[in-house]
Structure 1
Amino acid sequence: MTHSDAPARRDGEGDIPDGSESTEATVEDLIEELETLEDVVDDTEERRRVRGAMRTARDLATPKPSVFGTVVRGFDRGDIAEAFLGSVLFGVPMLVEGGTTEIGAYLGANPAFLVGTALVTVLLVVGIVYVADFQDVRVHRPFLGIVPRRLVGVLGVAAFTAVVGLTAWGQIDWADPTVALGSTVVAGLPMAVGAALGDLLPG
């Protein structure tokens, strides 16, 4: 068969598509379709599901950058071990420093500062885990549909380490729960930071 006998190729036929462009176009088309579907759906529950699918599609279209390039999901025993190690490394000075109970007594006498310190601890962990982009952390099967398991796990490990460490080393006496609680919150702040970093940095 000569060149002139070869069947004419239609525009675009046989071209190898650019994978990234094709994927991006597909996701954008999906988002547009979901937006259209959202406008015509009457049921509240169905509209909520459509919006959830739209959020997932946008996440796929614009992946989060991260320092280590790892996508992190869930919170398993390995994560607990890493968080505990980080919590201990950051928390040992708080377990041996007498100032911990002094500040704990002050916070116990000032509930507003006690609550404020606890909130700062939560915000620091949220910032490290979900904002600082050490890793691409995805929320997987959150408690009650909104509370991330990793956030609960990191804070829980830090609180457990603080309570057990301060009690076992005789820094707090639960006969005076106000001072004990204040001391736990004080020690829990650096422990929570250490737990968050220990969980994420190893990758």
Structure 2
Amino acid sequence: MWLPPFGTSTTLIVNGLMIDSERADLRGAGEGLRMFEIAQVGVPIAVIGLVYIVLVSKWWLPDRRPAIETASDPRKYTVEMLVTAGSPLVGKSIEAAGLRHLPGMYLVEIDRGGRVLPAVASGDVLEADDRLVFVGIVESVVDLQKINGLEPATDQVFHLDGPRSQRRLVEAVVSERCPLVHRTIRGGRFRSRYAAAVIAVAGVASLLR
């Protein structure tokens, strides 16, 4: 019993050409390829190719890992501070409180009673018990501790694997046409342009915080 072949469009085209050729040569009704007829060649080649990929790919493919993983410890590059009750910062904007242009750190988000305010703007007003998340050189926490009305948080609530409705981690590549090329993150107005905050920048061989 003759069964039609199955496979890619190329196989079906070859099958049609064989049928036409057999009919033209008057060698029969033109049956073409039978099911699994090319398996005796295709299966060994597929097995050899699969084995080759498994054995060789680990040397050819680079070990690409994200700059920051969601499971990594955020305390390596973040500092959390609390706005104390009765703090002189309460009611002030981020700019007026002197939290916008800090050396070595910048404010990424505010956790206000469990509600996350990402990409904090200069005009956002501080409230009591706000939890401020700063990103940058962790050693710069000394400068934050000098600000009256701020105290270090005793627990860590900033996690990259938190609910996506509140925070989303995106790894992006800067292309040659990106308007940020040859500019600092602050000079390129990244926060206002994309409504996002940069946690880290991965260079060719190192992670820049």
TM-score (norm 2): 0.21
Question: Which of 1 and 2 has higher RCO (CA within 8 Å, sep 6+)?
Answer: 1
Q: Which has the higher strand share?
A: 2
Greater C-alpha Rg:
2
TM-score (norm 1): 0.22
